[in-house]
């Protein structure tokens, strides 16, 4: 990795975004699940079915609404890259 501030700043901004995206997903997912008595979570079968379908589907084959969601995420990444170029 180059030592100039631009590459380092871009890397840190993208890392910050990656963590925020993961954290947001975890909050969303846990909010959809039921809590087990032991503190674990139980994912509803309908969401297991949906998320399994999504993770096993290539982007090109996703329904348009799901593509829009992925495009919104890509737009956030592009904004970070462009603001650190």
Give the domain ranges of the chain: 34-85
- Mean pLDDT for each 10-residue chunk of the chain (85 residues)? 70 96 96 96 96 97 96 95 88
Residue 66: exposed, middle, or buried by beta-carbon count in 10 A (0-12, 13-18, 19+)?
middle
d(CA 51, CA 68): 16
Q: Please tell me whether the overall predicted TM-score, pTM, comes out greater than 0.85 for this model.
A: no
Query: What pLDDT, on a 0 to 100 scale, did the predictor assign at position 4?
Result: 59
């Amino acid at each position: 990795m180059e030592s100039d501030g631009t590459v380092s700043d871009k890397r840190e901004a993208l890392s910050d975004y990656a963590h925020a995206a993961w954290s947001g997903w975890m909050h969303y997912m846990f909010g959809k699940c039921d809590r087990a008595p032991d503190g674990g979570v139980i994912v509803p079968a309908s969401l297991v079915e949906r998320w399994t379908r999504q993770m096993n589907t290539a982007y090109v084959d996703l329904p348009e609404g799901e593509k829009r969601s992925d495009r919104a995420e890509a737009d956030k990444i592009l904004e970070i890259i462009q603001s650190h170029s």
